Amino acid sequence: MKWVNNIVSTILMILLISVASIVMISKFSGGEPQAFGYQLKTVLSGSMEPGIKTGSIIAVKPNVEKDKFKKGDVITFQEEDGTLITHRISEVVKTPETVLYRTKGDNNNTEDMNPVLPANVVAEYTGFTIPYVGYFVSFSQSKNGAFLLLIPGLLLLLYSGYTIWKALSELEIAQKKQVDLLAKEGENSSS
């Protein structure tokens, strides 16, 4: 039973620390979490499926040379309205003044309408993805996201209370046995 208690305590603690870390990193970074020089982005559409599933977290490398990409690279770029999109480069168009990237989602039938200027490239996709975790991160960034910290925290608090109550009960039983044993010894020595 003790190893079950240890496993449950460890799982709840890891869950609490993980949720707290994701929420705090998201809030402090002003949006997407960042770790070891990589940004974590949430994918909200199916345009890159099956390689990148809707609701996935992807790691992208910001601060890259924006005019060095080639056909087949996957980049994250910003649209005029501020929306971030991660698509594959289908064609590199070089002009005397600049480079333009034509992009297309792997799951889309046609290329994106507007070519991407190097100045609009935010990051390069690294190939690292975790499916479905993006739903969780997206929710944690919402106003209700702080609620996520309460659930594992409350579970950990309740479980700690139960563990303390159980330990005190066992201590009380052991003390009662000791008192009964001393009382019996007292009776045996007086007779």
Same domain as 128, residue 46: yes
Smallest CA-to-CA distance from 101 within 73, 137, 129 is with 73
CATH number at residue 99: 2.10.109.10
Same domain as 42, residue 135: yes
Same domain as 124, residue 47: yes
Q: E strands of 3-98, at which residues?
A: 34-35, 38-42, 57-62, 74-78, 84-94
Distance of alpha carbon 94 from alpha carbon 76, whole angstroms: 19
Catalytic option among 9, 45, 90, 138: 45
pLDDT tens digits along 102-146: 999 999 999 999 999 999 999 999 888 888 877 776 776 666 766
pLDDT tens digits along 137-188: 677 666 676 666 677 777 777 887 888 888 888 888 888 888 888 878 777 7
Contact 74, 87 (CB under 8 A): yes
Same domain as 185, residue 125: no
Same domain as 39, residue 26: no
Could you count the other beta carbons within 10 Å of the beta carbon of residue 82? 6
- Pair of tokens at residue 81: 């309205």
Domain total of the chain: 2
> Domain of 70?
32-140
Does this model's pTM top 0.75? My answer is no
Q: Active site includes 45?
A: yes
